Amino acid sequence: MRVQLFGTCLVDTFFPETGEATLKLLRHFGVDVVYPHGQTCCGKPADSGGYSGAARKAAEHFISVFEGNDPIVIPSGSCASMVKNHYPELFKNDRRMKEKAEAVAERTYELTQFLVHVLKVHEAGLQGKGSITYHSSCQLTRELGVREEPLLLLESLRGAKFIQLPRADRCCGFGGIFMARLPEVSMALADEKADAIVSTGAETVTGCDHGCLMNIADALNRRGNAVKVKHIAAVFAEGLE
Amino acid sequence: MTGGETVNIFMDKAAKAGAEPVSVKDIGEMNRLLATILESTEQIYCPGVTEKECAVEIPEDRRTDDYRAASVCIEEVFGAIAETGSLICSSHGGKTVQAGLLPPHHVAIVSADRVYEKLDDFFSSCGDSPPTNITLETGPSRTADIELTLIVGVHGPERLSIIVL
Amino acid sequence: MSIFTRSVPFRANTIKALNDPSLRSALRHATETFAQKRSEAKASVPFEAWRDDASAMRSDVLSNLSGYLDLFRARAVRAGATVHLAKDAGSAREIIVSVLKQFSAKRIVKSKSMITEEIHLNSYLHQQGFNVVETDLGEYIIQLAQESPSHIIVPAVHKTRRQVGRLFAEKLGCDYTEDPFVLTKIVRRVLRDEFVSADAGISGANFAVADSGSIVIVTNEGNGRMVTTLPPLHIAVFSIEKIIPSLADLPKLLRTLTRSATGQTLSSYVSVITGSRKPGETTGATELHLVILDNGRSEIVNGEFREILKCVRCGACMNVCPVYRTVGGHAYASTYPGPMGIILTTLLERMERAHTLLDATTLCGACAEVCPVKVPLPRLLRRLRELRVEQDFTTQMERRGMDGFALAAQSPRIFHLGQKVARLSWPLLKKLDGNGALVRMPRPDPVTFTRRMQ
């Protein structure tokens, strides 16, 4: 089977190793991965800020770059939700674009959704090591409804110990432009998240969204804590031969 | 649901809300119960309007006519709601609802056959011309305004006893 | 820094709040407790179905609000109440004062009412020479402290017992104690005198029932009952969206309201007051005056933000909001804080004042999950942010940044050039950004994922 991979602008710019891990993971399970080179950003930063014009431009570009019928896989809950839930809404006054948006939305998967529902990776299980805890991001859970999939995958890790994070679905304070507009509150929320993470004693904290992970890593960094922060794609890719 | 089951649910919920519900078989048992609840309390107010209120036995010298100065009000209330463990106090028939509000101890007598199962059962029966005041009373008065510490007994009664007869 | 001096200085307020450890600890305790209690309360009941029912009923009312309002007025008058319609805060205050003067009322007891906060009633009455005493324990505390409420259910949640103890010792002259039990009993004694000697009681109303002309007051302390039945004159103030069709609809809301607010199955007292005292009755105010306030609601109900008017003021959204939980209600400097507060404040007080409040959300969606009447709070917040941009209440720098973003998003070449420029000028960008977001982000990678895929 073949998929189109949308890396996301955060991965492309700051965390390319996550893109590589996603690629490795999908290929390992026999998926042929196409990377449309015209890809840029899904438009979420503009959309959350209320800049719908700019968001629409990003969305139009995405839709044209990702034309076709293959599933689109995205290692980010917020980007996947932007495409699946907000694209059709952005074009509600443009019937032609709305139809295209709905078609694209229908074939889009957040990574763990794809791994569980299409590839059924959790059934065979994966390899891991050390102790891991998991932060569940807001758009991933509340907009996309992806709550079980990452847990199924993490719990299937042989060789690794999964520790439940207290108040895992509480916002970490990233919120996209929120981090820039109210940095003090953002840091305070990230600190609380870091407190919870440290309390688990886990060696690694993982999640599906780099925005959150970046904010969490900063909080851990500021207190000189050595807990590793890894995207879930990297956690799974590491365990592959 | 049988009447007995409804009463049991009412008693359970009322107790959970901090009231002290007891079910009695007859007037005699009610008065024996009252004697223990009231012990040597003075300044007892009882309207003496309904049949059950008139059957309440309290020595004259421990009674008062002024509910504002009373330490306890014993009265029969309109009914109750099992779902929430609530009493229904109503101004219907000239009843003085605030008599059960001001004294620190409210002793409410409820007829077992006037216990509604659900809130809906009661409110649907109210129609569009209810009496001036209907109050659902669920447990004693309470607050958590200071540090979310639950304190029972604020402006309204500090203690709510319920006798189901 | 805000470029519009009339807007709420929200960021500065959050910094103040973050530097107040006693406030932070009080907030943490309160919001955790409420969220926990709500969870427990909904666990063994069909709460989702109840939310659907409550939401549907509230939507139904809003789509025929003026019809229900007319019915309410007719029925309330039939039951003996005097009904006044107030277009805005100013006229509501004047109506209330004229009613008080009509009955020569001087001493007034008041039960907690957010609408009276919204119209700034207490300070106006005080100016006009009336003696007004708040009787809800939390409101009484903040009245003594001359502060405004910080939460719509527990107005004094930001105060520790020590602070309350010191306040009472200072203002009431009693011995210092920090025991909440003793503090509460002091207030019981002090206010009992006020209740029985008051000329008038002023309350709000949680709901107004159209077909019976009744108002419904939901409380725990008993002060609501005393304020509305002991004084000869009772004035109830509420806004038009509080209306529900009939008493048969009340249970749907009661079930979800109290569980969402405090985790209780039902609060200690639910009073349904229908008109004034009738001949032969011994309960109820002899004069009941209802002041029904519009204050911008009829404009909202006819617009795209109608759903915010479904709000039943339970406070659940603020208990789970990451921003409210961290900084508390005072930072919003508005009658209503938290998610529903941002929306209502922006609609009632306009973008000019409230646009900074629109920053106070991460759009995490926790609020929508707990709203008992399913107000789509994140959707409304996002839409208000869109309006904020359209009405030009964002900075020039941000708008230019977004223009640049739009260009880059449509052109891979510009996008990748932008990445390169950002990486090369990263130290300079961080310096320019101050203590914003960039300093908390890693430096861009020299080899982008796209490059690795070539």
Q: What is the pLDDT of residues A222-238, one digit of tens each?
A: 999 999 999 999 999 99
B20 DSSP 8-state letter: E
Nearest to A185 among C323, C366, C386 (CB): C323
Please report the pLDDT score of residue A40 as a whole number.
Answer: 97
pLDDT surpasses 60 at C107: yes
Given an 8 Å threshold on Cβ–Cβ distance, is B126 in contact with C275?
no
- B108 phi and psi, to 5 degrees? -110, 130
pLDDT surpasses 60 at C414: yes
Instruction: Quickly count: other Cβ atoms within 10 Å of residue B143's Cβ.
Output: 26
pLDDT surpasses 90 at C172: yes
User: Exposed e or buried b for every residue in A201-236, given b needs 16+ CB within 10 A?
Assistant: ebbbbbbbbbbbbbbbbbbbeeeeeebebbbbbbbb
Residue A85: Cβ-neighbour burial (10 angstroms; 0-12, 13-18, 19+): middle
Find, among C225, C284, C235, the residue nearest to C101 by Cα. Answer: C235
Please report the pLDDT score of residue C90 as a whole number.
Answer: 97
For chains C and A, having 3+ Cβ pairs within 8 Å is answered: yes
Interface subset of B 116-145, CB within 8 angstroms of C: 118-120, 123-124, 126-145
Mean pLDDT of C255-261: 91
Q: Which chains touch B (3 or more CB pairs under 8 A)?
A: C
Mean pLDDT of A82-100: 96
pLDDT of C346-378, one tens digit each?
A: 999 999 999 999 999 999 999 999 999 999 999
pLDDT surpasses 60 at C1: no
Mean pLDDT of A190-216: 97
Helix or strand or coil: residue C200?
Answer: strand
DSSP characters over C301-327:
HTSTTGGGGG-----HHHHH-HHHHHH
Please report the pLDDT score of residue C44 as a whole number.
Answer: 87
Please report the pLDDT score of residue A147 as a whole number.
Answer: 97
Q: CA dihedral defined by A193, A194, A196, A199, rounded to 10 degrees?
A: 180
pLDDT surpasses 50 at C2: no
**Which of C402, C440, C448 to substitute to test the interface with A, most A CBs within 10 Å?**
C440
Please report the pLDDT score of residue C196 as a whole number.
Answer: 93
Percent of chain A with pLDDT over 90: 96
Given an 8 Å threshold on Cβ–Cβ distance, is A184 in contact with C14?
yes
3-state helix, strand, coil split of chain B in percent (to 5) is: 30, 25, 45
Residue of chain C minimizing CA distance to A8: C449
Please report the pLDDT score of residue C152 as a whole number.
Answer: 84
Given an 8 Å threshold on Cβ–Cβ distance, is C440 in contact with A183?
yes
Given an 8 Å threshold on Cβ–Cβ distance, is C408 in contact with A41?
yes
CA distances from A140 to A47, A57, A76, A166, B47 (A): 16, 23, 8, 18, 62
C-beta separation of B50 from B77 below 8 A: no
C-beta separation of B119 from C254 below 8 A: yes
Residue A7: Cβ-neighbour burial (10 angstroms; 0-12, 13-18, 19+): buried
What is the ipTM metric for this complex? 0.96
Given an 8 Å threshold on Cβ–Cβ distance, is C229 in contact with B97?
yes
pLDDT of A12-68, one tens digit each?
A: 999 999 999 999 999 999 999 999 999 999 999 999 999 999 999 999 999 999 999
Percent of chain B with pLDDT over 90: 91
Residue owning tokens 């880059």: C408
Q: How far is the alpha carbon of B24 from chain C, nearest alpha carbon, in Å?
A: 24
Percent of chain A with pLDDT over 70: 100
Mean pLDDT of B11-16: 96
Residues forming beta bridges with residue A73, ordered by sequence position: A5, A109
For chains B and A, having 3+ Cβ pairs within 8 Å is answered: no
Q: How confident is the model at residue C5 (pLDDT cuts 50, 70, 90)?
A: low
A81 Cβ under 8 Å from any chain C Cβ: no
Residue C304: Cβ-neighbour burial (10 angstroms; 0-12, 13-18, 19+): exposed
C-beta separation of C237 from C124 below 8 A: no
C-beta separation of C182 from C161 below 8 A: no
Is 0.80 topped by the overall pTM?
yes
C-beta separation of B115 from B6 below 8 A: yes
Please report the pLDDT score of residue B2 as a whole number.
Answer: 79
Mean per-residue pLDDT over chain B, rounded: 95
What single letter denotes the amino acid at residue C208?
A
* Residue C248 CB partners (closer than 8 Å, separation 6+): B120, B123, B124, B126
Helix or strand or coil: residue C441?
Answer: coil
For chains C and B, having 3+ Cβ pairs within 8 Å is answered: yes
pLDDT surpasses 70 at C281: yes
Please report the pLDDT score of residue C307 as a whole number.
Answer: 98
Mean pLDDT of B64-72: 95
Mean pLDDT of C123-144: 95
Rounded CA gap, C152 and C158, in Å?
A: 12
Find, among C262, C357, C367, the residue nearest to C320 by Cα. Answer: C367
Residues forming beta bridges with residue B159, ordered by sequence position: B105
Residue of chain B minimizing CA distance to C158: B147
A240 Cβ under 8 Å from any chain C Cβ: no
**Which of B90, B154, B158, B160 to substitute to test the interface with C, most C CBs within 10 Å?**
B154
C236 DSSP 8-state letter: E
Rounded CA gap, B142 and B21, in Å?
A: 18
Mean per-residue pLDDT over chain C, rounded: 94
Mean pLDDT of A87-97: 96
Q: Is the dihedral of CA C137, C141, C144, C148 positive or negative?
A: negative
C-beta separation of C150 from C319 below 8 A: no
Residue A96: Cβ-neighbour burial (10 angstroms; 0-12, 13-18, 19+): exposed
CA C276, C279, C284: angle at the middle one, nearest 5? 35
pLDDT of C287-335, one tens digit each?
A: 999 999 999 999 999 999 999 999 999 999 999 999 999 999 999 999 9
Given an 8 Å threshold on Cβ–Cβ distance, is C33 in contact with B148?
yes
Rounded CA gap, C145 and C25, in Å?
A: 20
